[in-house]
Amino acid sequence: MVEIFCEAVPKAAENFLALCASGYYDNCLWHRNIKGFMIQTGDPSGSGKGGQSIWGKPFPDEVRTTLKFNNRGILAMANSGPDTNKSQFFITYAKQPHLDGKYTIFGKVSLRAFQFTREAARS
């Protein structure tokens, strides 16, 4: 349902998978939902201002020119500027080429999982 790009972006992949395995994302709300653009989560406080990486501090961007926001369901780190990745991430609703080169893309969501995510965001 979700493909993680472990070889292309090892830090982001390790962080995301470890947070998933630890239950960190359990009960996290989708705190940001912009129709036609993206949906965002990963902050246990639900405010959109929190979150932590597995290293206890932000980690560097892993922007790859081969990874593009060229489809819906692209999974990427949300941040507050360069090299400020923690636990928040977003999933695109459609192509977003203006984001290319600005955020670490670390995976993609299958159509089935994408449809489930959209339904969850509506509730």
Asked if pLDDT for residue 123 goes beyond 60, the answer is no
Architecture of domain 2-122: Beta Barrel (2.40)
Alpha-helical regions (H) of the chain: 10-22, 111-122
Q: Give the pLDDT confidence of 39-97 residue by residue, as tens digits.
A: 999 999 999 999 999 999 999 999 999 999 999 999 999 999 999 999 999 999 999 99
Report the 10 Å Cβ neighbour count for 82: 11
Q: What is the pTM of this model?
A: 0.90
Asked if pLDDT for residue 112 goes beyond 80, the answer is no
Of 90, 92, 79, the C-alpha closest to 53 is 79
- What is the residue extent of each domain of the chain? 2-122
pLDDT above 70: percentage of residues in the chain? 91
